[in-house]
Amino acid sequence: MRRLTEDLPKDANIQLWVGAWRRGASWNHAKIIAVDGKYLQTGGHNVWTDIYLKEEPVHDVSIEMEGSVSHDAHHFANTQWQFIEKKQASLLGQILENVPDFIPLASKNRVIVSEYPQGKASEFAPLYDRSLVPEYASVPDSVPVISIGRQGVLIEDDRPADDAFIAMMDASKHIIRMSLQDLGPVTFPGVKIPLPSVGWPKPYFDALARAIWLRGVDVEIVLSNEKAKSGYTNGWSCVDVASEIIKRITKQFPDAPDADLRQKVEDNLRICYIRHSKKFDYESGRRIGNHAKYFIVDDMVSYTGSQNLYEADLAEWGVIVDDTEQTSQMMEYYWKPMWEASYLESDCEVQDVMDGLKIDRDGAGAGDLNTEGGKRNAEAAAFAMAKAQFPDQAEFNDKDPIALDKSVVFDA
């Protein structure tokens, strides 16, 4: 709050609130600017100078809109402000407010809110009230838009955005195009071992598998490079992702002939890393990252928002634009140039994908401390995590990295 207000004159006619919440492993991941129930910007962009406004920015996609969809964004935010107020107003919330953020807490809930100017602004932000904003005339040439979101663990069971994604994939007839950071689970740093309680997004992969196998739908995906700058990757390769999608065909259709699976990989599945003019790194040598959460179905409808398709139970929000003409413009200005600059068939060779069907990427047994391999992998993961937290000059970093026991992680 101090950084936001330090240059304001003392008599500035502005009131400002900054709130944050975390409940277990869930928090707000949405990226929304909503103004007066009329103007909206949403998508993947964070408001981070170093990542977006300096050299070698990460790739991302957001959308500006005008119209009644902005009301939905305000109401989505209301739910989170209500949770913050409920928790902060309790006796425990008042105590925890004064605990520094870096100190771990036993409580699974943590919220904080700051107001400006103190002593003048109320403690909690006023909720958006649609009746207080003007009624706007319909925007000329408006198009159908559906807002979709999820509130993470703030709502016990419902994850409506997830259901919407699956419905869109199941409705596809011709082609699905995706620009994403990753599709594999978050891993321990430096090793392909999924963190506890996360796995591959099997409901989405089941839908993609049905589209490919039953309807012959083409699937094209652009991902971050494996070692993208600033950690904008979970570390999985294009082949890893492709093999896991094809596995879901064999899971749902166990009698699928190997030759037909191979043909589907060759004809219908294309996955590549994001590139500039076919190069995957910047001039500095650092790999290009992709932070977009964007996909198109049948070149008719698109999703732009904050939600990654890999597993993470966060609060997310985005919009579906259901208009062929607008989707065509998005493809012309964004998708086609990116695909032209990025796609290389060598990122996802058919034989590599088929060989990859034998690999267990769920890490079954990887963390079993009752086995020598499991103990070694736990030690390797701990070393990788520690190395990521300390500078290279740290004494322990002079040691050779601990080798991962791949016979435990991968059934290869």
Spell out the domains of the chain, with CATH numbers in brackets: 2-132 (3.30.870.10), 145-358 (3.30.870.10), 372-409 (no CATH)
- Residue-wise pLDDT for 118-160, tens only, equals 989 999 999 999 999 998 888 788 999 999 999 999 998 899 9
Distance CA 405, CA 376 (A): 7
Asked if residue 123 lies in contact with residue 115, where contact means CB atoms within 8 angstroms, the answer is yes
Contact 150, 21 (CB under 8 A): no
- pLDDT of 196: 79
Interval 196-210: pLDDT, tens: 778 999 999 999 999
Would you tell me the crossing angle of helices 258-268 and 238-252 to the nearest 10 degrees?
130
Q: What tokens does 158 get?
A: 């419902």
Q: Given this model, what pLDDT does residue 391 score?
A: 36
Ranges in the chain, pLDDT < 70: 91-107, 364-412
Angle between helices 202-215 and 160-171 (to 10 degrees): 10
- pLDDT value of position 371: 62
